[in-house]
Structure formats: C-alpha cells, structure tokens
C-alpha cells in the first residue's frame, strides 16, 4: 500500500537524520530539530498506514515496550510532586515531552519493522550508519580545516542552512603554542559524537569480519569503518575510547581469531601508519595533547569525581523517586554556574532525577534488551543449523549489537547519551531484530 511505502521512506529518513543534531532552527525561543520533524513525519505516516489497513495487532516486543513506557511514566509523574521551583517544572515538562516522543518512536518503529522484510531491516541499519558516517566525515573535515589555520567550517556550510554562525568545533586550548581543537561533527558536543560512534563501529566490525572472501560489501564496509574510526579519533573523547575498549573485549570472545587476521590487521595497520606519520610531524603538539588528555588532575576530570561525591546528598531528600525528570541542571546550578548543564554521567542523572525505583526499572529494561540480543544469537545458531543463508549475518549482528550496548553503558559512566535519539535507534535495531529474522 502507498501509505506503507511512505512510512518506510519516513523511517529511513528519520534514522539517517537522527544524529544530524546541528541541523536545527530557532522558532519561538526554542530550537526545532530536523530529527524531530522527520520522526514526527514517520509517526504520522505510521498511524495513517495502520488506520488505513485496519491493523491493530502488535508483536509481543511492542507490548513489553509499552509496559516499560507506562511504568517509567508512573515513576516520572510521581517525581513531579518533588519539584520545588518553576524552573524545575519547566525542565520536567521538556524532559517528559522528549521521553514520550523518543519512546513513541521506538514502539512504532519496532511495530513497523516487525512487518517488513529482512531486506528492509538491513536498509534501516544502512541508513543509520550512513548518517553516522556523514557525521564522522564532517567531523574530520572541520578538524582539518580548523587545525590548518583556515578558520571554521560551520559558518561556511551550516550558516547558510541554519543561520548558525558559531565555530562548531570545540577549542581544547593552546598546546605547544598552537590552538588545538576537537571535532563534534553535526552533533552538539564532541563527547556526544565520540560515544555515539561506538554503536555503528561495533555493529559493522563483526559483520565485516564474517563476510565471505570476494563479497562485494567488503570494501564499502572497511571504508565506512575507516571513516567512523577517524571521526572517533578527532573527537579525542575518553568516554568514547572507554566504550570502544569494552566493546572490543566483548567481540574478542567469539572473534578472537578473526581480530588478529589479515582482514582486520591490514586496514588497522594502514590507519595506524598514517597516524604515526602525522604524530611524528607534529610530535610536540601531539605529546602535549596526549599528556593533557591522560592526566587525572585536570579540571574536566575533577568535575566528574566532584559530581559523584555530591550524589549522596542529592538523593537523600527523595531517595525512591528522585528530584524529578530532567531537573539535574537546576539542582546543581550552584556547582556548575549554568542552568542548562547536564551531568557528566547518565547514572548520576538517573539516580538524582528518578531515584532508586527509576534506576531499578531502567536496569530491568537494559536486562530485557540483553535478553533480546541473547535470543538473537540463539536464532543465528538455529539458522546456521538448517543452512539458512542469513545465519552468517545474524550471528555477527547479534554480537555487534551486544558489544555496542556494553560499550555505550560503559561510556555513560562519565558521560550521558542514552537519553538521545540515536540510542533509541539502537534499541530499535536490537529489539526488532529477533522479530524480523525469526520469520526465516
């Protein structure tokens, strides 16, 4: 049906644009994001399609998601009665609206993918990876442009589109007498991009490793992985690096032999060689920057630990349901001096804003996602046992999604990205995969 094809296209556009956060326009004192518009378009077309088709059935996975949505909503609404100021209520309203839109997108997208082919699932994954690759490529370009002393790329490219004439890249400071920058691509923060890139890298890596010799996708995948890796490097995100290490440890369990094979070592060696040559040419700058990023006594590092030390008094007043969704910035304004500043840890935000009950409910949800991925790995083994051609893709996909989730959880110890759209796309891919591939 035409409405179904329109919803297909809207979903692909949504997951492609979901991380292009810098594409936003000020309207009435608030920013309207391109991703919000594309997601709203998908939700509308999805509902139209289901109404036209008179289709009320939903897979069990969607029922479970709606149950978590209801339980989380109850926790958040109980937390509303702990709000103290008008600023708290304003932040709570914004946070609740974002949560509702993100979770509605997740539930509807899973329901939509559940009725589509395995081919469309791969197209959805491809659209998401393409958006992340665009983000990563732009980050590399803006980093090279800024470090080359030619100014800033954003006013030239994004300025005419969004009217935003800000610099874009984050100025790290002066290293060996040279201004040094970190790239954020088309996201709002360098660490946002660094942590988000964990997902596509971890998903694509095992799929690439398991491709047959001579497969036409080997070259596109290794090139895409190279672009994503370069984007990760120019963010210089320690949280992103932590997540990658955790994800690679997970992948080393089933793919330890392939991870030391020529298939991986040759492209990694080529990338490492380029980085070594650049480091030798700018050795003073690189060594100074490396010392700064590995120091545990810097102001940025100390901020993380300061917030953890302030966690007990923050939850003492409302230990069970927290101080209210999205109100961290108003409570900690005395420390940060800013009324719109988020915590440098998803788990701090979770405990402060939703309390013990909200934290346990979130952990239950993560356990559910891990169980879905465990089921996907078992499904891959079952497909292999009957000689299904998709088995060689499902098993690597399952391990890649598992590594991506573990890496993201680790990275969010010192940053927070799991409330962002891109993580809900990851959840979509993880929760919907067992439904889609079980039809094989």
Supply the DSSP string of 370-422, one letter for each residue: HHHHHHHHHHHHHHHHTT-TTHHHHHHHHHHHHHHHHHHHHHTTSS--TTSHH
In a domain, 174, yes or no: no
State residue 434's pLDDT score: 95
Least confident of 89-93, 139-143, 247-251, 427-431: 89-93
In a domain, 268, yes or no: yes
The residues facing 180 across adjacent strands are 173
Backbone angles phi, psi at 33, to 5 degrees: -95, 145
- The answer to whether residues 173 and 180 touch, using CB atoms and an 8 Å cutoff, is yes
Short-list 111, 102, 109, CA closest to 33? 102
Least confident of 22-26, 117-121, 313-317, 364-368: 313-317
In a domain, 31, yes or no: no
The residues facing 26 across adjacent strands are 31
State residue 153's pLDDT score: 86
- Predicted confidence (pLDDT) per residue in 374-427, tens digit: 999 999 988 888 877 777 899 999 999 999 999 999 999 988 899 999 999 999
Decide if pLDDT at 304 tops 60.
Answer: no
Of the two residues 344 and 225, the one the predictor is more confident about is 225
- The answer to whether residues 326 and 95 touch, using CB atoms and an 8 Å cutoff, is yes
pLDDT band at 334 (very low <50, low <70, confident <90, very high): low
Short-list 199, 257, 228, 255, CA closest to 136? 228
Domain interval for residue 252: 64-133+190-438
Number of structural domains in the chain: 1
* Average pLDDT for 135-143: 94
State residue 112's pLDDT score: 94
State residue 155's pLDDT score: 87
Show Cβ contacts of residue 289 under 8 Å, excluding neighbours closer than 6 positions.
172, 175, 180, 236
State residue 383's pLDDT score: 86
Decide if pLDDT at 81 tops 80.
Answer: yes
State residue 69's pLDDT score: 94
State residue 292's pLDDT score: 65
Q: What percent of the chain has pLDDT over 90?
A: 52
Short-list 322, 133, 163, 102, CA closest to 232? 133
State residue 331's pLDDT score: 66
Output the DSSP codes for 41-68: HHHHHHHHHHHHHT-----HHHHHHHHH
Tokens of 146: 């800024």
State residue 423's pLDDT score: 96
* Average pLDDT for 17-30: 88
Residue 181: helix, strand or coil by DSSP? strand
In a domain, 19, yes or no: no
State residue 186's pLDDT score: 92
In a domain, 24, yes or no: no
Show Cβ contacts of residue 328 under 8 Å, excluding neighbours closer than 6 positions.
342, 343, 348, 349, 352, 353
159: left (phi over 0), alpha (psi -120 to 50) or beta: alpha
Stretch (H or E) spanning 26: strand 24-27
Tokens of 152: 């800033």
pLDDT band at 166 (very low <50, low <70, confident <90, very high): confident
119 exposure class (CB count in 10 Å sphere: 0-12, 13-18, 19+) = exposed
In a domain, 70, yes or no: yes
Distance CA 212, CA 396 (A): 13
Distance CA 287, CA 244 (A): 22
pLDDT band at 102 (very low <50, low <70, confident <90, very high): very high
Least confident of 22-31, 218-227, 293-302, 380-389: 293-302
Q: What percent of the chain has pLDDT over 70?
A: 87
In a domain, 318, yes or no: yes
State residue 2's pLDDT score: 60
Of the two residues 318 and 14, the one the predictor is more confident about is 14
Residue 367 DSSP one-character state: H
Decide if pLDDT at 300 tops 60.
Answer: no
In a domain, 418, yes or no: yes
Short-list 120, 106, 96, 141, CA closest to 354? 96
């Amino acid at each position: 049906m035409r409405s179904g094809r329109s919803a297909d296209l809207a979903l692909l556009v949504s997951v492609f644009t979901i991380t292009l956060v810098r594409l936003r326009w000020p309207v009435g004192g608030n920013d309207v994001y391109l991703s919000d518009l594309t997601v709203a378009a998908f939700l509308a077309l999805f509902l139209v399609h289901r109404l036209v088709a008179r289709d009320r059935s939903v897979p069990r996975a969607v029922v479970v998601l709606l149950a978590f949505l209801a339980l989380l909503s109850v926790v958040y609404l109980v937390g509303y009665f702990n709000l103290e100021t008008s600023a708290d209520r304003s932040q709570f309203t914004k946070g609740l609206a974002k949560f509702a839109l993100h979770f509605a997108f997740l539930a509807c997208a899973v329901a939509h993918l559940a009725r589509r082919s395995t081919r469309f699932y791969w197209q959805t994954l491809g659209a998401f990876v393409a958006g992340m690759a665009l983000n990563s490529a732009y980050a590399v370009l803006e980093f090279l442009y800024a470090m080359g002393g030619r100014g800033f790329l954003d006013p030239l490219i994004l300025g005419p589109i969004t009217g935003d004439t800000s610099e874009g890249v984050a100025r790290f400071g002066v290293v060996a007498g040279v201004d040094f920058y970190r790239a954020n691509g088309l996201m709002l923060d360098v660490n946002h991009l660094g942590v988000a890139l964990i997902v596509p890298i971890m998903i694509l890596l095992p799929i690439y490793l398991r491709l047959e010799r001579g497969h036409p996708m080997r070259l596109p995948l290794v090139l895409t992985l190279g672009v994503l890796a370069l984007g990760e490097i120019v963010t210089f995100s320690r949280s992103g690096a932590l997540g990658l290490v955790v994800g690679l440890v997970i992948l080393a369990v089933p793919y330890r032999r392939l991870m030391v094979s020529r298939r991986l070592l040759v492209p990694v060696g080529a990338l490492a060689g380029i980085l070594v040559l650049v480091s030798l040419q700018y050795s003073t700058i690189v060594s100074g920057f490396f010392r700064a990023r590995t120091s545990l006594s810097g102001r940025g590092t100390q901020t993380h630990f300061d917030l953890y030390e302030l966690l007990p008094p923050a939850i003492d007043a409302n230990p069970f349901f927290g101080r209210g969704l999205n109100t961290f910035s108003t409570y900690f304004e005395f420390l940060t001096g800013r009324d719109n500043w988020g915590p440098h840890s998803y788990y701090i935000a979770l405990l402060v804003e939703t309390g013990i009950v909200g934290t346990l409910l979130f952990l239950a949800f993560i356990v559910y996602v891990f169980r879905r991925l465990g089921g996907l790995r078992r499904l891959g083994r079952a497909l292999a046992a009957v000689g299904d051609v998709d088995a060689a893709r499902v098993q690597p996909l399952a391990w890649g999604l598992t590594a991506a989730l573990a890496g993201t959880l680790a990275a969010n110890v010192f940053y927070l990205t799991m409330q962002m759209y891109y993580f809900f796309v990851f959840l979509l891919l993880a929760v919907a995969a067992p439904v889609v591939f079980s039809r094989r």
